[in-house]
């Protein structure tokens, strides 16, 4: 269990100045939507520590982690692509979450096996990423997040390339993990229906700012900001939640 | 049918030339007592030494290239990085004999190193001639080549993997073991195979630095047999041995090489997580400095010796200018022939692959263009010698033969450099051209030339530069009346006129680089990317 507190986090990329303030409750799944280039992924990068902010603080459970390296933060990130090392099999890719040099004990191997089983991949331990489907590859990455056992999970559109049914299946799996382990999950998506399906609250990011955070159904009604209405379009905002 | 013609004609001429040379070798072979020659201990020694020096050269080049390449890949933005990468492109282009001169000036008996040790009151060492000299020269040529061939491996690593390794807390060693080495391992067989091949067939280096029969390769032994022992039978046997070994090596290399599977993503690049530690910074600095020094020192030595040499005397010698003119002619003729043949073969291969759906026939054409790697200049030269000497004076034909041999040697480069853009332009624009009715000259002018121009310029520049520096074919056929610049320089070195050789080296390297730059810019257009 961990709550996330982002305070005036500023970051400059080329001409764009971004500034984020956001509070995420412990154990919640928060969706983040917005046009491409708005800064959704940058927000996750700042939380994970891949990018360093110019100013501002990231606090996790009250502890300031702004100066910590990515590995030292209680955070796991899933990207859209390249979550796995292509030349290592599924079990080794998960095992890296336990030891970054793959020195694993028998007990560690057992944990890897169980994690893969939990995400529905038992029997596929020896498969290389190239021999797995897109959904299965992301399941391996989820299994690694299980063995890493960090309380915050950042999803940077990892299911964007999957079809609607498979996407829902993966979101169900993430939600199960969240409930079982009390994970705090941030889900970046460009499908508002993902937010509607999986997240109680949703944040709308536009031009490097968080313009609105609200209950998902209320936010998707599009009342809070003209930019949000423009992003969702008439059809989307007119739909019943 | 006309669209298949260019490649068909090129292939037919190539087959006639190479086939004629090799056919003549095989036809002559039965007349020789192969058994007796095979039992010859000297021959066995030559073969085993050739393999031994090539293995050592490849191992040393690759072994040093890995830390240098990794250091250059890790440090993406230090001042001078671009210049170092350009410097590492030089050994491919500068004439072998020039580099050998620079190496002698550094490592020779009165070279820079020995003068330094003498100044420190230490005994000087005489070690260059023989295996050490061959290895030093081969590392000089192949370390930078290997670095340049390996660097794309790092470029192909997607940014997400660096973020991932940062999140997992991987250290430098773990990153090397789990990310870099597995990727390197995929390209190493190909790179090592190429370097081994180049060292295996190396001629000018072994001729000049081998220092005697104890350190002779098959390629040099062919030359010795033909030019000094006048033993045609031995030359033919050695040429066949060389042909067999090269064929076997290439077949082996083909079966080992595997393509890299990763593709770069459009995502914002991300720094790798192991840049900060001081130990790594020091190690990288040492690797880059050592690699750069190794390549730079001999080149600087050539420049220094040339500039301080008897410039007036050498430049006043008409033989120099005759030789320079011949070299220029040979370079341009060989380059243009290479480009024309290679391009013709690629056009036909493209027609077969994309429009007639005959990919295997297309492969066969491209492979036959690269298959000339099996024949070395001395093998081809011996073949022409056997083929032509009954009907003509081969020494009178020297320059023609040198042009032909160098044109054939340039073909693999043309296919490699020009192949991808020639194929791409058809894939991208065939349908559009068909719908707009753009064909023939208009198509060449408006579509093909703009798309392939840069590659064509590079291919031509490369072939011309390589032919400028040729010392294989010309050593075999050259006489007093057909001396080219590299041969003139070799003769001066062989007669210990080192100061005159130095100035000749400067002229030769100047001609070579000037030709390269003028062709690359002139033909390739100014827009260099």
Q: With bands split at pLDDT 50, 70 and 90, how would you rate the model's confidence at B221?
A: very high
Average pLDDT, chain B: 86
Closest residue, chain A, to B173 (C-alpha): A101
Chain A positions touching B259 (Cβ under 8 A) are none
Smallest CA-to-CA distance from B23 within B243, B340, B280, B188 is with B243
Domain range list for chain B: 1-31+326-482, 40-307
Give the best residue of A14, A46, A87, A150 to mutate against chain B (max B CB count within 10 A): A87
A:22-51 residues touching chain B, CB 8 A cutoff? 45, 48-50
Query: What are phi and psi for residue A11, nearest 5 degrees?
Result: -155, 140
Distance from CA of A91 to the nearest CA of B (A): 14
Give the best residue of B158, B165, B167 to mutate against chain A (max A CB count within 10 A): B167
Helix (H, G, I), strand (E, B) or coil at A169: helix
Distance from CA of A100 to the nearest CA of B (A): 5
β A4-13/A152-156 pair status: unpaired
pLDDT digits (tens, 9 = 90+) for B75-121: 888 899 999 999 999 998 899 999 999 999 998 888 888 888 888 88
Smallest CA-to-CA distance from B203 within B388, B27, B406 is with B406
List residues bridging with A12 in a β-sheet.
Answer: A17
* Cross-chain residue pair A82–B170, CB shorter than 8 Å: no
* Cross-chain residue pair B169–A81, CB shorter than 8 Å: no
Closest residue, chain A, to B168 (C-alpha): A71
Distance from CA of A85 to the nearest CA of B (A): 7
* Cross-chain residue pair A100–B168, CB shorter than 8 Å: yes
Eight-state DSSP code of residue B355 = I
Per-residue pLDDT of chain A in tens (241 residues, 90 and over written 9): 689 999 999 998 878 899 999 999 999 999 999 998 899 999 999 999 888 899 999 999 999 999 898 888 999 999 888 888 888 899 999 998 998 888 899 999 999 999 999 999 999 999 998 899 999 999 999 999 999 989 999 999 999 888 889 999 999 999 999 999 999 999 998 888 899 999 999 999 999 999 999 999 999 988 888 889 888 885 444 444 4
d(CA B208, CA B133): 9
* Cross-chain residue pair A82–B183, CB shorter than 8 Å: no
Exposure string for B371-397, b = 16+ CB within 10 A, e = fewer? bbbbbbbbbbbbbbbbbbeeeeebbee
DSSP B2-16: GGGHHHHHHHHHHHH
Query: What are phi and psi for residue A32, nearest 5 degrees?
Result: -125, 115
B166 inside 8 A of chain A by CB: yes
Distance from CA of B192 to the nearest CA of A (A): 21
pLDDT digits (tens, 9 = 90+) for B390-446: 888 888 888 999 999 999 999 988 988 898 888 888 888 877 777 777 778 888 888
pLDDT digits (tens, 9 = 90+) for B37-82: 667 788 888 999 999 999 999 999 999 999 999 999 998 888 999 9
Distance from CA of A157 to the nearest CA of B (A): 13
ipTM above 0.85, yes or no: no
B273 inside 8 A of chain A by CB: yes
B158 inside 8 A of chain A by CB: yes
H/E segment holding residue B168: helix B159-168
Distance from CA of A158 to the nearest CA of B (A): 12
A103 inside 8 A of chain B by CB: no
Contacts of B410 (CB under 8 A, 6+ apart): B334, B335, B337, B338, B339, B342, B462, B463, B466, B467
Residues B452/B422, Cβ–Cβ less than 8 Å: yes
* Cross-chain residue pair A102–B169, CB shorter than 8 Å: no
B:177-206 residues touching chain A, CB 8 A cutoff? 177-179, 182-183
* Cross-chain residue pair B174–A100, CB shorter than 8 Å: yes
* Cross-chain residue pair B178–A85, CB shorter than 8 Å: yes
* Cross-chain residue pair A97–B158, CB shorter than 8 Å: no
Closest residue, chain B, to A47 (C-alpha): B167
CATH architecture of B40-307: Orthogonal Bundle (1.10)
Return the HEC string of B212-225.
Answer: CHHHCCHHHHHHHH
- pLDDT of amino acid B244: 87
* Cross-chain residue pair B167–A86, CB shorter than 8 Å: no
* Cross-chain residue pair A81–B160, CB shorter than 8 Å: yes
Contacts of B378 (CB under 8 A, 6+ apart): B203, B219, B222, B223, B239, B242, B472, B476
d(CA B409, CA B17): 12
CATH of B1-31+326-482, one of 1.10.3720, 3.30.565, 1.10.10, 1.10.287: 1.10.3720
Residues B505/B323, Cβ–Cβ less than 8 Å: no
Query: What are phi and psi for residue B31, nearest 5 degrees?
Result: -70, -10
d(CA B365, CA B360): 9
Tally Cβ neighbours within 10 Å of residue A127.
16
* Cross-chain residue pair B167–A85, CB shorter than 8 Å: no
Distance from CA of B183 to the nearest CA of A (A): 8
Residues A95/A102, Cβ–Cβ less than 8 Å: yes
Residues A64/A58, Cβ–Cβ less than 8 Å: yes
d(CA A217, CA A231): 15
Chain A positions touching B273 (Cβ under 8 A) are 69-71
More confident residue, B36 or B425: B425
d(CA B492, CA B269): 53
Distance from CA of B167 to the nearest CA of A (A): 4
Smallest CA-to-CA distance from B162 within A222, A79, A74, A39 is with A79
Chain A positions touching B158 (Cβ under 8 A) are 81-82
Give the best residue of B156, B159, B160 to mutate against chain A (max A CB count within 10 A): B160
Residues B354/B197, Cβ–Cβ less than 8 Å: no
């Amino acid at each position: 269990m961990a709550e996330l507190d982002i305070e005036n986090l500023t970051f400059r990329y080329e001409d764009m100045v971004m500034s984020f303030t956001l509070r995420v409750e412990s154990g919640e799944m928060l969706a983040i939507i917005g046009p491409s280039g708005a800064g959704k992924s940058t927000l996750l990068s700042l939380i994970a520590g891949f990018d360093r902010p110019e100013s501002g603080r990231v606090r996790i459970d009250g502890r300031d982690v702004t100066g910590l390296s990515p590995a030292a933060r209680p955070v796991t990130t899933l990207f859209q692509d390249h979550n796995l090392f292509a030349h290592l099999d599924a079990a080794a890719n998960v095992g890296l979450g336990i030891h970054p040099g793959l020195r694993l004990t028998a007990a560690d191997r057992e944990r890897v096996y169980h994690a893969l089983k939990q995400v529905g991949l038992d029997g596929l331990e020896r498969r290389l990423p190239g021999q797995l489907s897109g959904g299965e590859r992301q399941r391996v990455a989820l299994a690694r997040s299980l063995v890493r056992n960090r309380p915050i999970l950042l999803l940077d559109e990892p299911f964007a390339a999957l079809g609607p049914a498979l996407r829902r299946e993966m979101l169900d799996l993430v939600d199960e993990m969240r409930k079982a382990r009390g994970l705090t999950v941030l889900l970046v998506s460009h499908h508002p229906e993902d937010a509607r399906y999986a997240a109680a609250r949703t944040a709308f990011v536009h031009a490097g700012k968080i313009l609105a955070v609200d209950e998902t159904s209320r936010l998707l009604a599009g009342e809070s900001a003209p930019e949000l209405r423009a992003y969702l379009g008439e059809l989307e905002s007119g739909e019943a939640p | 049918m006309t669209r298949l013609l260019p490649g068909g004609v090129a292939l037919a001429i190539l087959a006639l030339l190479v086939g004629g040379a090799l056919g003549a070798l095989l036809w002559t072979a039965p007349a020789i007592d192969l058994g007796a020659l095979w039992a010859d201990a000297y021959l066995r020694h030559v073969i085993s030494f050739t393999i031994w020096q090539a293995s050592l050269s490849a191992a040393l080049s690759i072994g040093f290239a890995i830390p240098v390449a990794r250091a250059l890949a890790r440090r993406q933005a230090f001042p001078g990085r671009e210049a170092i990468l350009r410097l590492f492109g030089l050994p491919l282009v500068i004439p072998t004999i020039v580099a050998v001169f620079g190496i002698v000036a550094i490592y020779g008996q009165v070279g820079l190193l020995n003068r330094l040790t003498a100044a420190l009151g230490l005994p000087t060492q005489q070690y260059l001639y023989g295996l050490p000299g061959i290895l030093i020269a081969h590392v000089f040529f192949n370390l930078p080549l290997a670095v340049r061939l390996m660097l794309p491996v790092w470029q192909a690593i997607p940014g997400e993997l660096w973020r991932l390794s940062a999140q997992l807390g991987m250290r430098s060693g773990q990153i090397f073991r789990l990310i870099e080495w597995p990727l390197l391992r995929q390209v190493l067989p190909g790179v090592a195979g190429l370097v081994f091949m180049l060292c295996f067939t190396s001629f000018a280096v072994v001729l000049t630095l081998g220092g005697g029969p104890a350190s002779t390769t098959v390629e040099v032994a062919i030359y010795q047999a033909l030019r000094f022992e006048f033993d045609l039978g031995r030359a033919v046997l050695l040429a066949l041995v060389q042909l067999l070994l090269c064929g076997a090596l290439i077949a082996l290399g083909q079966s080992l090489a595997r393509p890299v599977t990763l593709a770069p993503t459009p995502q914002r690049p991300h720094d790798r997580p192991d840049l900060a530690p001081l130990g790594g910074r020091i190690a990288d600095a040492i690797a880059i400095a050592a690699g750069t020094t190794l390549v730079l020192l001999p080149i600087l030595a050539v420049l220094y010796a040339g500039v301080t040499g008897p410039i007036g005397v050498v430049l006043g010698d008409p033989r120099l200018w005759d030789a320079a003119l011949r070299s220029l002619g040979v370079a341009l003729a060989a380059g243009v022939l290479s480009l024309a043949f290679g391009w013709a073969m690629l056009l036909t291969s493209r027609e077969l692959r994309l429009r007639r759906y005959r990919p295997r026939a297309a492969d066969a054409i491209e492979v036959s263009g690269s298959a000339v790697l099996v024949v070395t200049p001395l093998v081809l030269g011996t073949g022409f010698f056997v083929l032509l000497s009954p009907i003509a004076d081969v020494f009178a034909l020297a320059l023609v033969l040198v042009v032909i041999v160098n044109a054939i040697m340039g073909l693999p480069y043309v296919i490699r450099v020009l192949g991808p853009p020639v194929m791409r332009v058809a894939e991208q624009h065939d349908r559009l051209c068909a719908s707009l009715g753009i064909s023939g000259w208009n198509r060449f002018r408006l579509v093909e030339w703009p798309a392939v121009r840069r590659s064509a310029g590079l291919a031509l520049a490369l072939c011309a530069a390589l032919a400028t520096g040729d010392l294989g074919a010309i050593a075999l056929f050259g006489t007093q009346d057909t001396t080219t610049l590299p041969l003139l320089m070799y003769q001066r070195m062989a007669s210990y006129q080192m100061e005159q050789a130095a100035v000749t080296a400067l002229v030769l390297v100047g001609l070579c680089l000037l030709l390269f730059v003028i062709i690359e810019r002139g033909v390739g257009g100014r827009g260099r990317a």
